[in-house]
Structure 1
Amino acid sequence: MTILAIDTSNYALGVALLEDNQVLGEYITNLKKNHSVRIMPAIQTLMKDCEKVPADLTKIVVAKGPGSYTGVRIGVTIAKTLAWTLNIPLVGISSLEILASGTGRYFDGYISPLFDARRGQVYTGLFQFRDGELVTVEQDQLVMLTDWAEKLKNFSKRILFVGNDLLIHRTKAEEILGQQAVFAALTEHNPRPSELGQLGMYKQGEDVHTFVPNYIRLAEAEAKWLEAKGKI
């Protein structure tokens, strides 16, 4: 089994190649640059370096959101195109789940990955490792950080926060949760595409034609258009 994992759902761009139980290669950047221009060259370079051709691939795994509307759409579009062209399975994984999986495996508590959603809001969820398996405790959601932190006070264990946007919200989380809040190290904030590939390795493929991203909320322009039409 040879898996190509693709994540363009946020500023971090990542691609990885996994074969059976080995990570053949991985490419990550965290730059505010156009993913639509950079993602295919990144895939091509990784494939060439790992001496693989498209026909070698047996599954595509993609980060399906939440995150940047444009970023999520780019990654999903490329993943769907590759899966359809090569006639191989496509699997979508929560962008938040990728962060949780790469950070909290040995943490005795809950993991709350987050992406900034502006105006005090975050995309987040709650996860926990149980017997070596990552379990979703609270589904991906869009919520005010203050409301989320107040909710987390009701959990008995510590909360590990992770994500490149953590600096925006760290002070408020500390004010509300105190010592219950734990913060991941600098090197842990980029989602690892190899973790993405691992998460999707044994999941059943989804229908390429009906597969859709998980934006959680509409893009601002689309929401305004629907509002003007009286549809929301």
Structure 2
Amino acid sequence: MKVLAVDTSTASGSVALLDGDVLVAEWTVLSERTHNRRLLQSVDRILADAAWNLEDVEAFAVTTGPGSFTGIRIGLSTLKAMAWAMGKPLIGVPSLEALAMPLAVASCPVCAVVDARKHEVYAALYRPDGQGALQEERAPGVLGPDKVAGWITEKTLCCGDGFLLYRHIFFQSAGHHVVDAGPGFHAVRAGFVGRCALRRLQDGTDTDPMHVMPLYVRPSEAEIHSGTAGS
């Protein structure tokens, strides 16, 4: 199955094309330009590089969050429109799962941590199942980095820009149990969004584009100021 996968949940946006388990092309960039300005250009460029037409795509995949509220909205609305217009399936993937997915071959837990600002992080804890997939041990949430560090009671691979930002807290709290996943594992890559999506597709996930919802975890600033948070 040919898949177009997109991540817009953080500043480092990513787009990828997969043909089954084969990664055909992937483009990840950290840019000051907003996702709204670069997403469609990125899609056009990667399709051209791979000599694909948009009509060749058989399924779409997108990160649902948590992460940047604006970025998530842009990614979801764009991919929903494409999938709905073409009558193709859309699979939503939690951004923290996609971040942790490259480490699914590890023999220890994986803690995915993304900066949420306000001295907080979005985080989730996963355990590789030995078959290339991840079992969720701590669901995605927003909390202080010290609280996340408290989850770590055994050797654990840590990844994400939130870990890099607060690594001193992790090492102070959990010491030798903390293992930095290393360069290349601290940003969401769309290729792994696509691989997560293919696994979910095999598991029978709902692929109706209109049913894919954002995973914000906490209310937006607009909701807080308007008093609609939690309503």
Deviation at 1:150, TM superposition (A): 1.9
Normalised to the residue count of structure 2, the TM-score between the two structures is: 0.92
Structure 1 distance, partners of 2:230, 2:87, is: 37
- Partner in structure 2 of residue 115 of structure 1: 114
Which deviations, in whole Å up to 9, do the C-alpha atoms of 1:19-71 show, x marking residues without a partner? 12311111110223211100101000111111111211110000110000001
Cα distance in 2, alignment partners of residues 210 and 190 from structure 1: 26
Q: Which aligned pairs between 1:1-232 and structure 2 lie closer than 5 A?
A: 1-102=1-102, 104-132=103-131, 133-153=133-153, 157-202=154-199, 203=201, 204-226=205-227
Out of 28-37 and 75-84, give the one that drifted further: 28-37
Q: CA deviation at 1:138?
A: 1.0
1:126-153 CA-to-partner distances (Å, cap 9, x unmatched) read 0111122211111111111112212333
Instruction: Answer whether contact 1:30 1:190 (CA < 8 A) is retained.
Output: no
In the alignment, is the contact (CA less than 8 A) between 1:54 and 1:86 conserved in 2? no
- What's the CA shift for 1:164? 2.3
TM-score, scaled to structure 1: 0.92
SS in 1 for 2:106: coil
Amino acid at match of 2:213: V
C-alpha deviation, 1:187, in angstroms: 2.1
Q: Which moved more, 1:40-49 or 1:20-29?
A: 20-29
Q: Which runs of 5+ in 1 are unaligned?
A: none
Gaps of 5+ in 2: none
2:128 aligned counterpart, secondary structure: strand
Distance between the aligned counterparts of 2:60 and 2:230, measured in 1?
35
Distance in 2, Cα, partners of 1:145 & 1:115: 10
- The letter for the 1-side match of 2:15 is V
8 Å CA contact 2:12–2:187 kept in 1: the answer is yes
Letter in 1 for 2:116: A
User: How many Å apart are 1:206 and its aligned residue?
Assistant: 2.7
Alignment partners' CA distance in 1, 2:174 and 2:7: 31
For residue 166 of structure 1, report the CA deviation from its aligned partner. Answer: 2.4
Secondary structure at 2:209's aligned position in 1?
coil
What is the deviation of 1:190? Answer: 1.9
Q: What is the percent sequence identity of the aligned residues?
A: 27
SS at structure 1 position matched to 2:32: coil
The answer on whether the counterparts of 2:121 and 2:162 sit within 8 Å (CA) in structure 1 is: no
Counterparts of 1:46 and 1:151 in 2: how far apart (Å)? 39
Number of aligned residues: 226
Cα distance in 2, alignment partners of residues 188 and 90 from structure 1: 25
One-letter amino acid of the counterpart of residue 58, structure 2: T
Contact 2:91 2:209 in 1 (8 A): no
Cα displacement (A) at 1:231: 7.1
